[in-house]
Amino acid sequence: MASITAIDPSTNAFDGDCTGRIVLDQLTSRWGFLILVALRDGEHRFFELRNRIHGVSEKMLSQTLRGLTGSGLVERHVIPTVPPAVSYTLTDLGRSAAEPLAGVFDWLSDHAAEIAEHQQ
Amino acid sequence: MASITAIDPSTNAFDGDCTGRIVLDQLTSRWGFLILVALRDGEHRFFELRNRIHGVSEKMLSQTLRGLTGSGLVERHVIPTVPPAVSYTLTDLGRSAAEPLAGVFDWLSDHAAEIAEHQQ
């Protein structure tokens, strides 16, 4: 693993001006994070993502999906049914991002109860 | 690694009402994420964190540190100098959270340039 201080400053998320910071916000936005983790299972239609990720509005979901697509992490597919359906998959880049995010998700699942105790 | 669907619903971050969602927001808030990754190196004084994490205001930094301390992820130490100094370290729980977050940080460092190309 690269040491933090050895990282090229242009891609160091500690630096406020870099691409790293923009991408950090995308990966770690609540919805971006949950979408990328959900898509690890494979293709999802828009409404499947909406149902799976409780509390996300259709507006936030489509806005976040647009951002993730624009960053090359997610691919949008139009299925030529009547009416046409839209589905989403991870790109190779998105899959490589989803791996470490899933590590965070798993940590969360294992430790949420412990943290809830601390908070009380 | 636990499958998403096999996770106890009470700790599943896909579910909007659970502790997992609250902790997710804490871990993946921009500042929470960067603080936990920065503290992997060891103890940091407040001003060291402020200088390292570009763009964070003192207000946001102290607010985020308070949240992380309340969740048992970070420990606050008062050093009895004149004037007293305050430093922060990861708890064991925080260290276990910082591991997968560092995986995300490393991914970011490796792929930020590639994503910047997609965005253009």
What mean pLDDT comes out for the span B36-55?
Answer: 94
Interchain pair B1, A52: CB under 8 A = no
All structural domains of chain A with their residue ranges:
10-119
> CB–CB of A12/A6 below 8 Å?
no
Interchain pair B100, A116: CB under 8 A = no
pLDDT of residue A8: 44
What is each CA distance from A53 to A119, B23, B88, in whole angstroms?
A: 24, 16, 34
Among A56, A111, A117, A120, most B C-beta atoms within 10 A, so best to mutate, is A111
What mean pLDDT comes out for the span B56-62?
Answer: 95
> CB–CB of A74/A93 below 8 Å?
no
Please give the structure tokens belonging to residue A6: 């050895």
Which candidate from B97, B108, B110 shows the least CB-CB separation from A107? B97
CATH (residue range A10-119): 1.10.10.10
Interchain pair A115, B53: CB under 8 A = no
pLDDT at B6 over 50: no
Per-residue pLDDT of chain A (120 residues; tens, 9 = 90+): 444 443 444 457 777 766 677 777 877 788 999 999 999 999 999 999 999 999 999 999 999 999 999 989 999 999 899 989 999 999 999 999 999 999 999 998 898 888 888 877
pLDDT in tens, A71-91: 899 999 998 999 899 999 999
Query: Could you tell me how far CA B24 lies from the centroid of its own chain?
Result: 10
Interchain pair A104, B101: CB under 8 A = yes
Among B12, B19, B29, B76, most A C-beta atoms within 10 A, so best to mutate, is B19
Interchain pair B103, A100: CB under 8 A = yes
Q: Which residue has the tokens 């489509």?
A: A62
**Interface predicted TM-score (ipTM):** 0.80
Please name the helix (run of DSSP H) or strand (run of DSSP E) that holds residue B85, with its range, or none.
Answer: strand B85-90
- Percent of all residues in chain B with a pLDDT value above 70, rounded to a whole number: 87
**Which residues, in sequence order, are CB contacts of A6 under 8 Å at separation 6+?**
none
pLDDT of residue A86: 94
> CB–CB of B41/B88 below 8 Å?
no
Kind of pairing, strands B74-79 and B85-90?
antiparallel
Average pLDDT value over all residues in chain B: 85
- Number of Cβ within a 10 Å radius of residue A18: 23
CATH (residue range B11-119): 1.10.10.10
> CB–CB of A110/B12 below 8 Å?
no
Interchain pair B100, A104: CB under 8 A = yes
User: Nearest-CA residue of chain A relative to B12?
Assistant: A109
CA B90 to chain A, closest CA, distance in angstroms equals: 14
Among B5, B28, B51, most A C-beta atoms within 10 A, so best to mutate, is B28
pLDDT of residue A6: 38
What mean pLDDT comes out for the span B66-81?
Answer: 93
Residues of A in contact with B104 (CB under 8 A): 27-28, 97, 100-101, 103-104
pLDDT of residue B5: 40
CA B81 to chain A, closest CA, distance in angstroms equals: 29
Interchain pair B100, A99: CB under 8 A = no
